[in-house]
Structure 1
Amino acid sequence: MRTHQFFSGCLAIAATTMIAPPAQSYDVSAVTGGGSIEGVVVYNGNVPMKKIIPTKDVEVCGTPRDEPLIRLGDGKAVESAVVYLVDVSSGKEWPPAGKTPELDNEKCRFEPEVQVIPAGPLNVVNSDPVLHNTHGYYGKRTAFNLALPNKGQTIPTELPRPGTVRIDCDAHGWMEGWIYVADNPYYSVTGSDGKFSITDVPPGDYKLVAVQPFTGPMEMSVSVEGGKATTLDIELKKQ
């Protein structure tokens, strides 16, 4: 049996503080009879465009163009929205450690533009034959500031605490990206179909947040029953 709920309110929190520092540490423990949360994130408002006017390195960065501040797929589905649970004290294991997360400067864009990682190491990469100065911020405080003058260059850095890290390039002012440093493994990033899925959730009541950089975050309450899926259709709105 699946329960269906529809949410369309917004929480007025600034985009630079989309993920608050954790109230408690996270402990890995066995999850018995866990449930899941799944659904689709949509946006029905107007899609504003950002004018990109490269003033240098145009052979790599491209020509002037308009780009949407929120990318939508079929049915107004939101791409690259992050959906996550907050204040989770214990539960499933983190995904297996593999390749160190990367932030790539590629064709004067950040790839990926939005990602979620646990606190810890990050490799900043330059795939372009031009200088990028990649600058990350926790709020207004610099998290890292790295000059990468060479194609193929990789510089390791560290994001030591949970929070939202906004990324820009001091050499190419239109570049912007976001890294959500999670304090628990209960999160999902939507693809072009807007779908998300958070699995192995211990039964109980939770606070869930859905966020996209243009709209800002939406917060809602959700209940999870053991062995069942709770389905949410989430409509983001510009604050």
Structure 2
Amino acid sequence: MKAINSVVVASAIVSAISGVPARAYEEGPVPQGGTIQGKVIFNGEVQTRKIIPNKDLDVCDGPREEPLIDVGPDKGVENAVVYLAQVAKGKAWPAQAGQAKTPELVNHNCRFEPKVQVIRAGPLVVVNSDPMLHNTHGYYGKRTAFNMALPNQGQRIPTELTRAGTVRIDCDAHGWMEGWIYVVDNPYYAIAGADGKFSITDVPPGNYTLVAIQSLTGPVQQSVTVAAGKPTELTIELMKQ
């Protein structure tokens, strides 16, 4: 496996830093599809950041240390995103299969929920469940993807993320809040569970570039070959940049 910088991976996954228009993906049957499954691990020191909320203390969680990477006792990385780059044709998107609704990003107790998500390029709804102002701000690299004030509890504002890439989310009113949305151009992705394990199903047989990414470590990539009707087992080690 080869560690690479964000700019290189960005071109592999359709410009994850600056974002480019999502290219067309063709849905179709996948006879004898294979499965990519395995585990994302991290063997380095788990660093933390100290969070000291300085406003809205009746709603926001108190002072705390938060890990910059969530690593279990067996080194599995929770919320790492695993993704196949540049797949032109394959299985249906989850929404078309009736398995998903419009994705949401919720401001709740001065946190983003979910903290990490993967979505298809397209609509997103930003929600404020807290009884005070949040100003939710999303960025492709340094370029604003959306910037919206939500002063009212229960407020919902639709937006669009039309470009594939990595979108970092923060709140201009509560500077410690941070989340990540990975916008993809094909449905071959997974988010690792608490044990670091993941599975990507119904992959057309062939050779692929697999990308794994987490906000602290950045991305890594490796080549993977999928055989018809068979599982491919991988262990992916993330490295701090």
Range into which the TM-score falls when normalised by the shorter chain: over 0.9
2:34 maps to: 35
For normalisation by structure 2, the TM-score amounts to 0.92
For normalisation by structure 1, the TM-score amounts to 0.92
Structure 2, gaps ≥5 residues long: none
1:58 maps to: 57
CA distance in 1, matches of 2:90, 2:9: 27
2:148 to 146, 149, 153: 146
2:237 maps to: 235
1:117 maps to: 119
1:69-218 residue pairs with structure 2 within 5 A?
A: 69-97=68-96, 98-218=100-220
CA distance in 2, matches of 1:237, 1:172: 29
CA distance in 2, matches of 1:66, 1:36: 37
CA distance in 2, matches of 1:202, 1:14: 27
Structure 1, gaps ≥5 residues long: 1-6
CA distance in 2, matches of 1:120, 1:166: 16
Deviation at 1:17, TM superposition (A): 4.5
Q: Map Cα deviations across residues 26-81 of structure 1 (whole Å, 9 max, x no partner).
A: 11122111111000101110011101011111111122211100011230110100
Aligned partner of 1:146: which letter? M
Deviation at 1:123, TM superposition (A): 0.6
| Gap change, CA 1:140 and 1:78, over 3 Å in 2 | same
Say if 2:22 and 2:163, in contact at 8 Å, map to a contact too.
no
Deviation at 1:25, TM superposition (A): 2.5
CA distance in 1, matches of 2:152, 2:217: 35
Deviation at 1:119, TM superposition (A): 0.9
Deviation at 1:22, TM superposition (A): 7.0
| 2:3 pairs with 1:10 | yes
CA distance in 2, matches of 1:132, 1:203: 46
Deviation at 1:16, TM superposition (A): 10
Identity of aligned residues (%): 65
Aligned partner of 1:37: which letter? I
Say if 1:47 and 1:70, in contact at 8 Å, map to a contact too.
yes
CA distance in 1, matches of 2:7, 2:42: 19
Aligned partner of 2:126: which letter? V
SS at match of 1:133: strand
Q: How many pairs does the alignment contain?
A: 232
CA distance in 2, matches of 1:55, 1:14: 35
Aligned partner of 1:13: which letter? S
Say if 1:36 and 1:197, in contact at 8 Å, map to a contact too.
yes
Aligned partner of 2:70: which letter? R
SS at match of 1:61: coil
Deviation at 1:15, TM superposition (A): 11
SS at match of 2:58: helix
Say if 2:22 and 2:121, in contact at 8 Å, map to a contact too.
no
CA distance in 1, matches of 2:43, 2:185: 30
